Amino acid sequence: MERRRVLATLAVVALLVVAGCQSPGAPQSPDGGAPTATATSDPATTRATADSTTTESTTATANSSDGLVRVDDDFGFDVPPIYHRVGRMLEVPRADRPEVQVRTEDPPDDGGSVVARPQGFVGLVGIVPQNPVGGDESVGTAAVARGTLVTVYSDGDLNATLTESTLAHEFAHVYQFTAHDPRSVVKSLGPNRNNARLTEVVVEGSAEYVQEEYEIRHQDRDVDQSEFAAAWKRAPAFQRWTVASYVYGSRYVELRIDDPANVTDVYQNPPRSTEQVIHGFTPDEEPVADLTVTADTTGPFAWSNAATKGELFARIALSTELDWERAAAAAEGWGADRLLTFSDGDRAGYAWALRWDDASEADEFRDAFADYDDRNDERFRLEAVGDETVVVFAGADAFVENATATGNSSSVTVST
């Protein structure tokens, strides 16, 4: 039967899954990516799954520990069965399940909110918080898994249903980093990939997928999905950017596998781009196009670093000034990109080179970017390099005015 699960508002997504559930070494990256089961632009989630017939014995008293799960505080419900349910979902034999410690802590002094502070180019394109710390766009730290220690932040009033679901997510992380570490394969893809975001997509997307499946199987979550697409479009770009790896990552994992037990298939053969994640392409579909970008720094601005941003970033950046549908359409057709950062010691300049699948896709992006630029308070300049590649200059006025781009669609030189 068809099962549907909704995260009614983006604020709920942020509260439950962002900023607190990283294990040591997992990325907290400002770059990022997310999927649609069809080639649509809305990340509404639909999952088909059989009803679970698994039954559990929960005769132990609340908060009891067993040989593998040590529970230090009063949760008001039995924690060890959650850990073992997730282990069975992932088909980790009991003998291979690590010992885990679970506890609660008071929220940090800031109330448990973590506000990502966009820096550099991310902020220039408009992906910025619109509320102060503690406002609607702050991200609540619900729980964190550090190795085999899981901490749930609580002011003493835990919601049992949400906490159980969150623990399923964190226990998925425990199994990830002790039994099936997904990070090494992504890191080996090459330096020009969007590896930090792709790692986050795989790590958090798979844990979110397991959490959602847990809710369906063990919490009877079967809620209409229709509100989510509208909530996604209404949400500020900063909030979408913050939760994208979770939302799109879980969708991507869902499209790749049919059961949590097969999640290692994604670990062993991860996506190569956020384009693949957004559209649900396999790792062999829509390969990243050839694009080499070099710097010729004879002027005052010296090159400092380079990064890949990806289609997801282009989509969300454009959506800060354009409606979501147009932003998604303009970003579609992404082939490759490189963002070069320059500095004269005091000021920064940016050259973002984007190669598109063909000339018409490049034209569509140029038209959309012109409208975006008209509405954005920052100063940008766009320069075409060949039929398929454009370069966006941003940052210090002196850099934007004087930097140039030459070459062809697959090889670009930025001169300062």
- Do 226 and 365 lie in one domain? The reply is no
Residue 161 lies in a domain: yes
Query: Which of 15, 4, 16, 17 is CA-nearest to residue 45?
Result: 4
- Do 59 and 202 lie in one domain? The reply is yes
- Do 81 and 166 lie in one domain? The reply is yes
Residue 16 lies in a domain: yes
β-pairing, 100-105 vs 149-153, is parallel
Ordered per-residue pLDDT tens for the chain, 416 residues: 233 333 333 444 443 344 345 433 333 333 333 332 232 334 443 333 333 333 343 334 455 778 899 999 989 899 999 999 999 999 999 999 999 999 999 887 654 444 455 579 999 999 998 754 444 444 444 899 999 999 999 877 788 999 999 999 999 999 998 877 888 888 777 766 788 899 999 999 999 999 999 999 999 886 555 567 778 888 899 999 999 999 999 999 999 999 999 999 999 999 999 999 999 999 999 999 999 999 999 989 999 999 999 999 999 999 999 999 999 999 999 999 999 999 999 999 999 999 999 999 999 999 999 999 999 999 999 999 999 999 999 999 999 999 999 999 999 999 99
Rounded Cα–Cα distance for residues 320 and 125 (Å) = 8
> What Rg do the C-alpha atoms of the chain give, in angstroms?
22
Per the prediction, the chain carries an average pLDDT of 82
Residue 286 lies in a domain: no
- CB-CB neighbours of 112 under 10 Å: 21
- Do 101 and 209 lie in one domain? The reply is yes
* Residue 192, CB-side half-sphere exposure with 13 Å CA sphere: 10
Look at residue 179 in the predicted model and tell me its pLDDT: 77
- Do 90 and 233 lie in one domain? The reply is yes
- Do 47 and 186 lie in one domain? The reply is yes
Look at residue 118 in the predicted model and tell me its pLDDT: 58
H helix or E strand, kind and range, residue 139: strand 139-140
Residue 6 lies in a domain: yes
Look at residue 178 in the predicted model and tell me its pLDDT: 87
Whether the Cβ atoms of residue 202 and residue 267 lie closer than 8 Å to each other: yes
Look at residue 226 in the predicted model and tell me its pLDDT: 58
Look at residue 233 in the predicted model and tell me its pLDDT: 80
The model's pTM: 0.83
- Do 233 and 99 lie in one domain? The reply is yes
- Do 189 and 326 lie in one domain? The reply is no
- Do 296 and 274 lie in one domain? The reply is no
Domain span at residue 342 reads: 292-415
pLDDT in tens, 155-199: 777 889 999 999 999 999 999 988 778 888 887 777 667 888 999
Look at residue 57 in the predicted model and tell me its pLDDT: 38
Residue 285 lies in a domain: no
Residue 20 lies in a domain: yes
- Do 272 and 374 lie in one domain? The reply is no
Task: Please give the tally of structural domains in the chain.
Answer: 2
